[in-house]
Structure 1
Amino acid sequence: MNSRFKYILMPLLVGTITMSCEKEELEDMTPTAELGTEATDLATSANLIFNETFESGNGFSGIKHQASTNYGFSVVSNPAFEGSKAGRFELRDTDAEASGGTRTEFLFPEDTRAKEGWYSFAGYFPSSDYADEKSRDIITQWHQGGGSGSPHTVLVVENGEFIMHVGEARLPLGKMTKNVWHKFVIHMVHSGGSDGLIEVWLNDKKVASRSGATIKSGYELPRWKVGIYKWDWNGSETTNTKKRVWYIDNVKLGNSKASLSEMSSGSGSGSGSVTEPAPSPSEPTSPDAGTSAPSSSADISGFTLIDSHYEKGVLPITNGAQISLSQLEYTKLNVQANTSSSVESVKFELSGAQSKTFTDSAAPFALHGDDGKGNFYYGNWNPPAAGTYTLKATPYKNGQAGTPVSVTFTIVNSGEHVLPENGGSTSGSNETALPSTSSDITGFTLIDSHTEKGVQTIADGSVIKLSSLAYTKLNIQANTSSSVENVKFELSGAQSKTYTDKGAPFALHGDDGNGNFYYGNWNPPAAGTYTLKATPYTNGQAGTPVTIKFTIQK
């Protein structure tokens, strides 16, 4: 197995029960009773704590395997990065949960917790068993335990991309190419403060470097985990894919004195690649970028003002709306068009105090564009010029233009954000402006809890058509001023719920504070008519509640 622990690891340690990644289910973090040890004279470097090449044994000797099946991990001879063998992870949507989630992961021992460390491995993702999809797979994470909740730092595969999530920050690392080996080296200083650091090299190229918190303050230093964790499959749930397989080789854990050269996975002179069949016609493929067009006004249901610092919607933009920059925490802004799932592109035409014409060819569709990974650009809107604007958005699909929707709004430097009392529908839309007398809650946004994105503005009288949405794990976010400390939601109608969210963003079903929105029993929500009342609180005092009525249709 060539697993090299550089010191005697502690036997049976007192375990903890912690909340697992993404959706806060309980995860068993108890270490194994006795951890394997190996001679140190075979290690390739004095700075390597662990080095697994899979050339002998069953792999990951002495490391706890969190899995519910025998096929969750095995050692195979094809493909191999170097030498003649590698490890193979397999997870299926029908697998029973292990340690509180649908996973096959190895959890490194207690004695590997350290302030600073180096982590490296080579990974291979076969086209036959690793189709691209929006639902993310966590392939490595750093878990603190002790009730800390979701890990602060995780590496995921999402829509064919490698992405490192560090708190609310999203660091795109590069495209995940199928049927080739990818080499990862990660250097981390684990801290909840400004002295934290993460550096990532992918295929010998430095692709990310970020200073600041890498863990949550007030909890233990993290333990490394590697494998597959897919929270979208928890609780008998499923996604477009049913099985995930990837291969791993040259797994290394280094101490603070390790170097990039010591952690490198080498040249990759192994036994070659898996012979992969061509993808079946039913395998999901990425949509073509370019034209798109809706055939009716329902294709654009409204507009949302985006804070490009937090990458979140902060208020709906309805006809006649006034946006006060002084009421916003940050002024790097963008405007998202909320569309049906059939829309392929949107052409924006902005006129007024500033003008711009831009076509966004992939969702989410935004005036200043985005990188497709949750990072919204802001162009010269930092801040936008004060004045009156008219924004026209034309949806496209199959190369044909749909019904354009126009909205006129005003941006002011100071004063309250005011939405017209009686609203005024956006052109070509049945939605009306929010009937609110309170500046603390400026509107509501329908959240897709699968993609963690706003998909539609919800105004009084809105109709939400489930058939027009890509996913139906839904939530509702109250868009508030920065002074709001918590929001009490009271939902009645086809389904009822009362919930107080005590941290932004404020949502009916809550969230984990790291950009992951929960959905409760809204998967999907029941069809019918609803009334939602939201009351903002600041300094323990209730503000003016805002109430809207809306309908959900199948």
Structure 2
Amino acid sequence: MIKRASKQRFLSMLFVCAMSSTLLTSVHADPYNLYETFEDQTWDYTSEPQKNNPYALNIINNPTFGAYEGSRVQRFQWDRVWYDASDRATKGSEIAQPQVRAAWNQDIWEEFYFYFPSSSDGMSNDSKGMIIKQWIAWHPSIPNTNKSFAFTLQNGVLKAQRAYGDRVNPSYQDYTITSNIPKDQWVKFKLNLRFDRTGSSGKIKVWMNDSLKVDVSGFSMGVGSPDYGPYTKYGIYAHSSSDFTKRVFFADKIKWSYNAF
């Protein structure tokens, strides 16, 4: 059994180390601001791991179901035994990219591949909702900033969620991508987003396996400081715990750009 005090020390250390690194606004060389295939067994950009457990984030070689491309994939694991409803650090097993921020009021194109195992220790349908991917404009100068956009998953229903209004207690609007997320296969997602904090040029377009599922625009989207745009986070944020002791999924070939592709 894991002792409570030990868990708290471990999680506090991880969270402080992750959040204390210098956060910069930077842009990678064209045509992509972020491009990850994991073939070199690491993220090519300065990333911030946010771990719910010691095994939360691993790049694995030759998974039994096969990588989407190449041989390596990112594995995300969340464990319920570490969960504490009062401690944000225990709720997420995520990789954040705060040093590669997007600009407000500019179109963003993003693509990634997710693999959801159907097993009970994978991503079988769960009555507790969770986030599996998001954009957030958090910065040390603006603590308590909430997410700007997310993929939410509950009972197999995948939704795109926009946030707007107050940065601490924003309003949300959900758009269903699918009522039955495909499992035991690689699923391709492509997004065209535009974050507009105060105007009405916000945009969300989501394709799943090349089929357009969400196409909405003409609203505000995004919360945070006008000086610091949103950045990506991939992985599990189980804000309400889970019906299961473990949640696991995989990612491959992640990229985003200001240029359409």
TM over 0.5: yes
Show the counterpart of 1:158.
Answer: 154
Distance in 1 (alpha carbons) for counterparts of 2:250 and 2:224: 33
1:371-450 alignment runs, 5 A limit: none
The equivalent of 1:132 in structure 2 is 125
Aligned with 1:91 (options 73, 78, 89): 78
Question: Per the alignment, in what secondary structure is the counterpart of residue 183 of structure 2?
Answer: coil
Q: Does 1:75 align with 2:59?
A: yes
Encode CA deviations 1:449-491: one digit per residue, 9 max, x unaligned: xxxxxxxxxxxxxxxxxxxxxxxxxxxxxxxxxxxxxxxxxxx
From the superposition, tell whether residues 69 and 218 of structure 1 become closer, same or farther in structure 2 (CA, over 3 Å): closer
- Secondary structure of the 1:94 match is helix
Please say if residues 131 and 237 of structure 2, whose CA atoms lie closer than 8 Å, have aligned partners that are also in contact: yes
Partner of 1:144: 137
Q: For residue 69 of structure 1, report the CA deviation from its aligned partner.
A: 2.9
The equivalent residue for 2:109 is 118
> What is the letter of the counterpart of residue 214 of structure 1?
M
Q: Which one-letter code corresponds to 1:104 in the other structure? A: S
Instruction: Kindly state the Cα deviation for residue 165 of structure 1 after the two structures are TM-superposed.
Output: 1.4
Aligned pair count? 220
Change (3 A) 1:60 1:132: farther
Q: Are positions 1:52 and 2:36 aligned together? A: yes
Q: In structure 2, what is the Cα distance between the partners aligned to 1:109 and 1:217?
A: 13
* Superposition TM-score, scaled by structure 2 size: 0.75
Q: Which whole-Å CA distance do the structure 2 matches of 1:106 and 1:83 have between them?
A: 21
Check whether the contact 1:34–1:62 (CA below 8 A) recurs between aligned residues: no
The answer to whether 1:224 aligns with 2:232 is: yes
Mapped to 2, the partners of 1:252 and 1:213 lie a distance apart of 24
Amino acid across the alignment from 1:245 = V
Counterpart of 1:215?
222
User: In 1, Cα distance between the equivalents of 2:93 and 2:101?
Assistant: 20
User: Structure 1: which 5+ residue stretches go unaligned?
Assistant: 1-26, 41-45, 234-238, 263-554
Q: TM-score, normalised by structure 1?
A: 0.37
CA displacement at 1:91 relative to structure 2:
0.5
Cα 1:217/1:106, change in 2 over 3 Å: closer
1:58–1:218: structure 2 CA closer, same or farther, 3 Å change rule? closer
Instruction: Using the TM superposition, give the Cα deviation of residue 34 of structure 1 relative to its aligned residue in structure 2, in angstroms.
Output: 9.0
CA contact under 8 A between 1:119 and 1:252: conserved in structure 2?
yes
Distance 1:53 1:134, change over 3 A: same
Residue number in structure 2 paired with 1:195: 201
Identity %: 24
Cα 1:201–1:83 shift into 2, 3 Å: same
CA offsets, 1:269-309, max 9 Å, x none? xxxxxxxxxxxxxxxxxxxxxxxxxxxxxxxxxxxxxxxxx
Structure of larger gyration radius? 1
Residue 434 of structure 1 corresponds to none
Match of 1:243, as an amino acid? Answer: K
Q: 1:148 to 1:213 in 2, by over 3 A?
A: farther
Task: Pick closer, same or farther for the CA change 1:32–1:114 going to 2, 3 Å.
Answer: same
Gaps of 5+ in 2: 1-14, 164-171
Is the contact made by 1:101 and 1:229 (CA closer than 8 Å) also made in structure 2? no
Looking at structure 2, the residues matched to 190 and 207 of structure 1 have their Cα atoms a distance apart, in angstroms, of 19
Counterpart in the other structure of 1:169: 173
Q: 1:125 to 1:162 in 2, by over 3 A?
A: same
Q: Which amino acid counterpart does residue 137 of structure 2 have in structure 1?
A: Q
* Aligned position for 1:109: 98
> C-alpha root-mean-square deviation of aligned residues, in Å?
2.6
More helix by share: 2
- Give the Cα separation in 2 of the matches to 1:151 and 1:241: 25
2:21 maps to 32
* Structure 1 match to 2:210: 204
- SS state at 1:88 partner: strand
Aligned to 2:33, what secondary structure does the other structure show? strand
Say whether the 8 Å CA contact 2:51–2:89 is kept in structure 1: no
Q: Does the Cα contact within 8 Å between 1:59 and 1:87 map onto a contact in 2?
A: no
Matched, 1:246 2:249: yes
- Structure 1 distance, partners of 2:20, 2:194, is 23
Q: CA deviation at 1:99?
A: 5.7
Q: Is this contact kept in 2: 1:188–1:198, CA < 8 A?
A: yes
SS at match of 1:245: strand
